[in-house]
Amino acid sequence: RKEVEQDPGPFNVPEGATVAFNCTYSNSASQSFFWYRQDCRKEPKLLMSVYSSGNEDGRFTAQLNRASQYISLLIRDSKLSDSATYLCVVNFGTDSWGKLQFGAGTQVVVTP
């Protein structure tokens, strides 16, 4: 079993619609979580940090469910520019330097 698992998609979303997807992680001791977006052949860019039960940033909402060991990302009012791969990143423990685990990403395609 992979330590961080994501549905690879693609999620095809009409412009203006809402899309949500999850990321599951295996280590119950994980303390911090991040969502990054990665455009084709580009570097990942931080979208949101998720430190507690969740947080919201404009059209993006991230939620953390520690009991079931998953985090979710919801995008409201999707824009064409939201088309990207969304990477789930999990820190496996507070004393583990460099031990961020990356999911393989969920591809989102927003269509006109």
Partner 1 sequence: DGGITQSPKYLFRKEGQNVTLSCEQNLNHDAMYWYRQDPGQGLRLIYYSQIVNDFQKGDIAEGYSVSREKKESFPLTVTSAQKNPTAFYLCASNRHGSNQPQHFGDGTRLSIL
**Among 7, 21, 102, 109, interactor with partner 1 by CB under 8 A:** 102
Measured at the CA of 83, the angle between CA 90 and CA 13, to 5 degrees, comes to 105
Q: Which of 82, 103, 108, 110 binds partner 1 (CB under 8 A)?
A: 103
Query: How many degrees, rounded to 5, is the angle at CA 37 between CA 95 and CA 103?
Result: 50
Q: What is the largest CA-CA distance in the chain?
A: 45
Pairing of strands 106-111, 54-57: unpaired
- What is the x/- site pattern for partner 1, positions 10-29, by CB under 8 A? --------------------
List beta partners, residue 90: 33, 101
Residue with token string 């990356």: 102
Please, what is the minimum distance in Å from the beta carbon of residue 32 to partner 1?
4
Interaction between residue 73 and partner 1 (CB under 8 A): no
Residue 68 in contact with partner 1, rule: CB under 8 A: no
Q: Provide Rg for the chain, Cα atoms.
A: 14
Does residue number 49 form part of the binding site for partner 1 (CB under 8 A)? yes
- Residues making contact with partner 1 (CB under 8 A): 4, 8, 31-32, 34, 41-46, 49, 51, 87, 91, 94, 96-105
